[in-house]
Amino acid sequence: MAEAHQAVAFQFTVTPEGIDLQMSHQALTEIYLSGMRSWKKRIIRLKNSVITGVYPASPSSWLFVVIAILATMYTRSDPSMGLIAKIQEHLPVSQSMSTQCQAVVSAVLFSTMLWLLLIFTMRLCLKQLLSYHRWMFEQHGKMSNTTKVWVALVRIFSGRKPLLYSYQGSLPNLPVPAIKDTVKRYLESVRPLMDDTKYERMTKLAEEFESSLGNRLQWYLKLKALWASNYVSDWWEEYIYLRGRSPIMVNSNYYGMDFLYVTPTPIQAARAGNSIHAFFLYRRKLNKEEIKPWLLRSAVPCCSYQFERMFDTCRIPGTLTDTVQHWQDSDYIVVYHRGRYFRLRVYQAGRLLSPREIEFQIQRILDDPSPPCKGEAKLGALTAGDRIPWAKARMKYFSSGVNKRSLDCIEKAAFFVALDDDEQGMMGDDPAASLDRYAKSLLHGKCYDRWFDKSFSVVYYKNGKNGINAEHSWADAPVLSHLWEFTLAFDSFQLGYNAEGHCKGDVDSSLPRPQKLSWEIPPECEEQISQSLAVAQALADDVDFHVFPFQDFGKGKIKKCRVSPDAFIQMALQLAYYRDQKRFCLTYEASMTRLFREGRTETVRSCTNESRAFVQAFDGGEAADVCSRLFRTALEKHQLLYRLAMTGAGIDRHLFCLYVVSKYLGVESPFLKEVLSEPWRLSTSQTPVQLSEMFDPVNHPEYVSPGGGFGPVADDGYGVSYCVVGDCMINFHISCKRSCPVTDTHKFGAQIRKALHDLLQLLSPTQKEPSKVEESRPEVKKDL
């Protein structure tokens, strides 16, 4: 094979005359340039480590301190109050060094210690400042004088031009709430879901726990909080994600969609060329820490540690628990097409391939007529089925030889790419149904044409549409959506396409062909692949999806009513669920805790006493003024719960960690056991739009993405993801199980639409009912 020969730097042949040595200059050049690229990355990482390590100061400030100290010394004053002389006395120097030189060295050492002390002090001050959260509870648009002073101090101590990880050392640790506060809030959260008898029983269990075992467990948790950066995150990753033995496809992984109304090019290989190039440009910015830290209100930083494992990461199956493996920058991706896996190098002679060159290589894979190896076509089903069979198969059949080399290639790749022969997107005579099929394709595909263990897999369809599927353990959706928004925007507005729809630029036709991976799959392994595929296929067939863009109004009209768009949507979901199921349920809304170091998420329990009172009054036909008052009370309560969750005073992560401690100690808690077994029949999440500055909603309003979604958490419940886009659109992704006779995504979607209109009418009774806006637009093909 040509690529195999090019990978060898030299060859030798033993002859009667001696050894004939043949050097490959091309291969040696490739090795040299690859080494240079590696060293450049190390230098950049070292430089960034220094800059981040001394933040909020700067390396140049050290020189300023040294010069200032030396200048004061030459004016015959001693700013060190005798410390420089003490350092000079104990300085281990040779006799050849003059007294003046010793004094300078001592001054430099003192200046360095003073500089480090100043850095430590500034960082400690910033950490204390960032522990202040009263600003979040103040009325929107009204800032107290205390908060104004606080904002000014935060900006002073934050330094200038922070890198992505600059704030990490200054972020406060997640506080451990008091047991009595958590128990009180928990009982309040379950009151609307229980009758008097059940609530009285739960109250007794809670009181017994609080007065006995709870304090013992809390002591261990506080001890962990003193030692660890975050008392929740490592246990959350391990026990919620990595120790789950059921399939991660549908149950854990989630997806993101392409533009709704626009396809930048109908050419599959060209779309892949531009976006793959954009992915690697993002990785370059990530390695250089050039991505701006996420700041709330342009002042309060959020934790960035989840970005570290975005690329070159894979989940590795184990019999007891999985692990997340992260490698250094890979220079290739793995591409799946028609049952075959290809290794595609995206760096040549030390440079990143241009979009046109990547398109050329992708087209080579599309045109490759070679058949899959025996057992290769549906190999990816192992990652879609149960984890224990996959772990055993990996150990038995992929721990040596060619299978290990090929599997290592997939797992160590920068990310995974799937080239589908299907067409997806909003299209055809039934655009609503096409969006539902699009969502299912991204979430599970054919159950064997994705590698669900990779940190993320990108799917490119035959008609130029694309999408992304992500593994959940390494990071939460807002982190991946940042990457996805950058890629979509850079693909369309920065790179663009020529008149024929191809990537711009020239191509080097001498590029080595993508390397097809080889496999030797025994019949026993094929049997396991078939079993995993059967499990995954049954799970995929059972998932029902409904995706729809709601365009009758958006956050623009909601904000005019002076209410939070998120709280408004959550109340609409409560009303819709009650109308759909004739009952209330435990509701999960994901909130972030990234104001704290290594923070991930917390739960907002959206079904409250206040929301229940409003829904019953509104659906029972109470007077409009009564309903309006109850509605605003419910909205205020939801906002309070959301803010408490963001500031570390949530319920569920604390109870979860107490439960983990109880298991380590080998003690049983009836209270914790019951709390952790309660099903979330309505699981919701908002996908935030973060890089709005990269899009132009005025000149290009059609360039909107409907966001993404996830599978249902409970077998008899709904999963709802929503994305607020601009002022006039809210996109919904609804999922449930077809096997459940009481859930239906389309019926629930209709209830959500009705609830949104009803609530807006309640807040604006003089406003006319908005006319029905067509949910679909003709698909637009754009060549930029």
* DSSP letters spanning 323-345: EEEE-SPPSEEEEEETTEEEEEE
Cβ neighbours of residue 260 closer than 8 Å, sequence gap 6 or more: 426, 549, 702, 704, 705, 706, 731
**Number of structural domains found in the chain:** 4
How does pLDDT run across 726-762, given as a tens digit for each residue? 889 999 999 999 999 999 999 999 999 999 999 999 9
Q: What average pLDDT does the segment 476-488 reach?
A: 95
Q: What average pLDDT does the segment 600-616 reach?
A: 97
Query: Would 100 be classed as within a structural domain?
Result: yes
Confidence of residue 696 (pLDDT cuts 50, 70, 90): confident
365/401 same-domain check:
yes
CATH number at residue 470: 3.30.559.70
282/399 same-domain check:
yes
| Three-state secondary structure call for residue 171 | coil
Q: What average pLDDT does the segment 72-81 reach?
A: 78
340/258 same-domain check:
yes
* DSSP letters spanning 528-571: HHHHHHHHHHHHHHTEEEEEEEE-S--HHHHHHTTS-HHHHHHH
- Whether the pLDDT of residue 5 is over 60: the answer is no
How does pLDDT run across 188-205, given as a tens digit for each residue? 999 999 999 999 999 999
How does pLDDT run across 759-769, given as a tens digit for each residue? 999 998 765 54
Query: Would 190 be classed as within a structural domain?
Result: yes
Where in the sequence numbering do the catalytic residues fall? 472
204/306 same-domain check:
no
Query: Would 677 be classed as within a structural domain?
Result: yes
Confidence of residue 38 (pLDDT cuts 50, 70, 90): low
Q: What average pLDDT does the segment 632-659 reach?
A: 97
659/578 same-domain check:
yes
528/637 same-domain check:
no
Query: Would 174 be classed as within a structural domain?
Result: no
188/261 same-domain check:
no
Query: Would 659 be classed as within a structural domain?
Result: yes
634/704 same-domain check:
yes
* DSSP letters spanning 569-592: HHHHHHHHHHHHHSS---EEEEEE
As a whole-number percent, the residues of the chain with pLDDT over 90 amount to 74
Instruction: Write down the pLDDT at residue 4.
Output: 41
Query: Would 139 be classed as within a structural domain?
Result: no
Confidence of residue 17 (pLDDT cuts 50, 70, 90): low
Q: What average pLDDT does the segment 420-431 reach?
A: 90
Average pLDDT score, the chain = 90
Instruction: Write down the pLDDT at residue 15.
Output: 57
pTM value is: 0.90
- Whether the pLDDT of residue 25 is over 70: the answer is no
- Whether the pLDDT of residue 777 is over 60: the answer is no
Query: Would 507 be classed as within a structural domain?
Result: yes
292/257 same-domain check:
yes
373/458 same-domain check:
yes
Query: Would 169 be classed as within a structural domain?
Result: no
* DSSP bridge pairs for 503: 497
Buried b (16+ CB within 10 A) or exposed e, 152-191: ebbeebbbeebbbbbbbbbbbbbebbebeebbebbbebbb
- Of 543, 565, 585, the one marking the end of a domain is 543
- Whether the pLDDT of residue 12 is over 70: the answer is no
Q: What average pLDDT does the segment 444-462 reach?
A: 98
The tokens describing 277, both together, are 């190039």
Instruction: Write down the pLDDT at residue 159.
Output: 76
- Structural domain boundaries, residue 91: 57-132
538/552 same-domain check:
no
Q: What average pLDDT does the segment 256-262 reach?
A: 94
629/647 same-domain check:
yes
